[in-house]
Amino acid sequence: MTSDVTLSCSCGALSAKLLNVRPQHGFHASCDCDDCHATNNHHGVHDPKDTAIDLYQTSPSNLKILSGGENLSVLRLHKSGGLLRWYAKCCDTPMYNTMASPKLPVVGVVASNVDNPEALGPVRAQGFVKKDGKTTHKNMVGMLSRMIGRMARERISGRWRDTPFFDASTMEPVVTPYTLTADERTAAYQPR
């Protein structure tokens, strides 16, 4: 069984196709970490605190931009680095998370942008679950082992070079990342 799914930003200008949506190629998980919520806050996305952000993790070579690629933009929450958080600048929609190097080929696709999220299957892992004042994880080991296996196969096959996020010859992101200012960071992490 395999299926391709389409996704787009909220205004529809930036659209993409996800190939090979099946358990061997991707992992549906949710994340409740402060960084994911801060990203939503920064973009002014409705983000209930008790609702984790659904992500579909796959290889960047499975993601093909269909339209509006000129709207693809990227930010960093912290000066020190961290994930690249890609968004659609046409309508300020968070879209993807990647590592800072194409040699770590993994992308987290924000599942709420997918046209038919049921195609992603059930959520199989949860990160940063807050319960009774503690933070726990569910099946993170399963998620990480799948992620490492996928990244290794991408590296060995050379498919890691096939990515919409980086120029594989220079290793640089296709758009220069914007780092939040201290004020923007304070606003983004403000408890609600």
Output 88 or 143, the one with its CB closest to Zn ion. Answer: 88
As a whole number of angstroms, the distance between CA 137 and CA 125 comes to: 8
| Count of C-beta atoms within a 10 Å radius of residue 127 | 20
Q: How far is the CB of 158 from Zn ion (least distance, A)?
A: 29
- β-pairing verdict for 26-31 and 125-131: parallel
Helices (H), the chain: 34-42, 140-157, 182-188
Q: How far is the CB of 141 from Zn ion (least distance, A)?
A: 17
Residue type, 148: I
Given 19, 45, 65, 91, the residue binding Zn ion (CB under 5 A): 91
Answer yes or no whether residue 72 interacts with Zn ion by CB under 5 A: no
Q: Which stretch binds Zn ion (CB under 5 A): 59-67, 91-99, 101-109, 129-137?
A: 91-99
As a whole number of angstroms, the distance between CA 79 and CA 175 comes to: 17
Six token digits for residue 42: 């920064």
Given 21, 31, 52, 180, the residue binding Zn ion (CB under 5 A): 31
CA distances from 176 to 76, 106, 167 (A): 10, 19, 12
As a whole number of angstroms, the distance between CA 36 and CA 42 comes to: 10
Q: How far is the CB of 178 from Zn ion (least distance, A)?
A: 17
Answer yes or no whether residue 90 interacts with Zn ion by CB under 5 A: yes
Given 38, 88, 120, 125, the residue binding Zn ion (CB under 5 A): 88
Given 21, 36, 125, 188, the residue binding Zn ion (CB under 5 A): 36
Q: How far is the CB of 117 from Zn ion (least distance, A)?
A: 18
| Binding mask of the shown chain, residues 109 to 148, with x at each position contacting Zn ion by CB under 5 A | ----------------------------------------
| Count of C-beta atoms within a 10 Å radius of residue 94 | 22
Answer yes or no whether residue 33 interacts with Zn ion by CB under 5 A: yes
Residue with tokens 């040699």: 103
Binding site for Zn ion (CB under 5 A): 9, 11, 13, 31, 33, 36, 88, 90-91
